[in-house]
Every structure is written in structure tokens, then in C-alpha cells.
């Protein structure tokens, strides 16, 4: 689950994140697959994958960095 300081950390350190970005971060932190997130948000799994790619850029992660690991370590 997402702990109380999770969104505070993201908002403080990455103020450019949108509400949809924050939701996506929460879904990833909850260990949901792209398919599960797509089902919840009524978009295609490919859209979810692209959103994750854009999130990595917004979070200043390199291509070899793991978005999931980054979010789990918050």
C-alpha cells in the first residue's frame, strides 16, 4: 500500500507531476501490472506503458533505472 508520506514526497520533489501521474505512481507502488492499471483507468495497456515511460523522464530516471524500485524506496 501507499504510505501517508508518499504523495508528500512526490509533490515536494517533483511539483510538475499531474494528478494522473500521482495515481500512476500509486498503482505502480501497489504493484499493479500495466494490464490491471489499464482495466482500472479504461485505457489500453500500451497507454499505461507509455505513461510509465514519461513518468521516468519526469522523475529524472535513466532508461536503465527501475521506476518500480524508485517508487518502492520512497
- In terms of Cβ atoms closer than 10 Å to its own Cβ (0-12, 13-18, 19+), residue 42 is exposed
Give per-residue pLDDT as tens, 48-70.
999 999 999 999 999 899 999 99
Does the reported pTM lie above 0.85?
A: yes
Q: How far apart are CA 2 and CA 28, in angstroms?
A: 10
Q: Give 22-48 pLDDT, tens digit per residue.
A: 999 999 999 999 999 999 999 999 999
Contact in structure between 61 and 70 (CB atoms under 8 Å): yes
| Beta carbons of 56 and 67 less than 8 angstroms apart | yes
Q: Is the CATH number of domain 5-72 3.20.20.140?
A: no
Every domain of the chain and the residues it spans:
5-72
Amino acid at each position: 500500500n501507499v504510505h501517508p508520506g508518499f504523495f508528500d514526497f512526490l509533490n515536494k520533489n517533483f511539483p510538475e507531476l499531474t494528478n494522473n501521474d500521482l495515481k500512476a505512481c500509486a498503482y505502480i507502488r501497489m504493484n499493479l501490472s500495466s494490464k490491471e492499471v489499464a482495466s482500472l483507468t479504461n485505457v489500453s495497456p500500451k497507454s499505461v506503458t507509455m505513461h510509465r515511460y514519461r513518468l521516468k523522464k519526469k522523475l529524472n530516471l535513466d532508461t536503465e533505472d527501475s521506476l518500480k524500485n524508485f517508487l518502492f524506496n520512497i
